[in-house]
Homo-oligomer: A and B are copies of this chain.
Amino acid sequence: MKPVPPFPDAGGLPIASVERETGLSKDTLRVWERRYGFPTPARDANGERVYAPDQVRRLAQVKRLLDRGHRPGKLLTLDDAALAALDQVQGAAPAAPADPELESWLEGVRNHDMEALQRRFYQELARRGLAAFVQDIFAPLVTRVGEAWARNELGVFEEHLFSQHMEKLLRGALANMTPTGGAPRVLLTTLSGEEHHLGLLMVEALLVTEGAEPILLGPQTPIEEIVRAAELKQADVVSLSFSSAYAPGLAAKGLGELRAALPSHRQLWAGGAGVRALRKPIEGVSLMPGLQELFDCLEAWRRQA
What residues on B are CB-neighbors of A167 within 8 Å? 171, 218
A254 nearest CB neighbor, chain B only: B20
Q: CB within 8 A of A256: which of B4, B155, B232, B233?
A: B4
What residues on B are CB-neighbors of A60 within 8 Å? 222
What residues on B are CB-neighbors of A297 within 8 Å? none
Counting chain A residues whose Cβ lies within 8 A of the other chain, the interface size class is 35 or more
Q: A161-B217, A218-B160 are in contact. Are A224 and B8 (CB under 8 A)?
A: yes
B168 near A17 with CB under 8 A, answer: no
A118 nearest CB neighbor, chain B only: B179
For residue A148, give the distance in angstroms from its CB to the closest CB of chain B. 15
The CA of A119 and the CA of B294, in the complex, are separated in Å by 31
What residues on B are CB-neighbors of A164 within 8 Å? 216-218
B175 near A171 with CB under 8 A, answer: yes
A228 is an interface residue with CB less than 8 A from chain B: yes
A96 is an interface residue with CB less than 8 A from chain B: no
The CA of A171 and the CA of B256, in the complex, are separated in Å by 35
Task: Spot the interface stretch: A44-52, A73-81, A83-91, A190-198.
Answer: A190-198
A23 near B257 with CB under 8 A, answer: no
Task: Spot the interface stretch: A35-43, A242-250, A268-276.
Answer: A242-250
A253 near B172 with CB under 8 A, answer: no
For residue A209, give the distance in angstroms from its CB to the closest CB of chain B. 17
What residues on B are CB-neighbors of A257 within 8 Å? 7-9, 13, 17
What string of 1s and 0s marks CB contacts (under 8 Å) between A206-222 and chain B?
00000000011110011
A7 near B160 with CB under 8 A, answer: no
A65 is an interface residue with CB less than 8 A from chain B: no
What residues on B are CB-neighbors of A250 within 8 Å? 3-4, 16, 20
What residues on B are CB-neighbors of A256 within 8 Å? 4-5, 7-8
Could you pull out 12 A-B pairs where Cβ atoms are within 8 angstroms? A4-B252, A4-B253, A4-B256, A8-B256, A8-B261, A16-B253, A17-B254, A20-B254, A23-B192, A160-B221, A168-B174, A168-B216
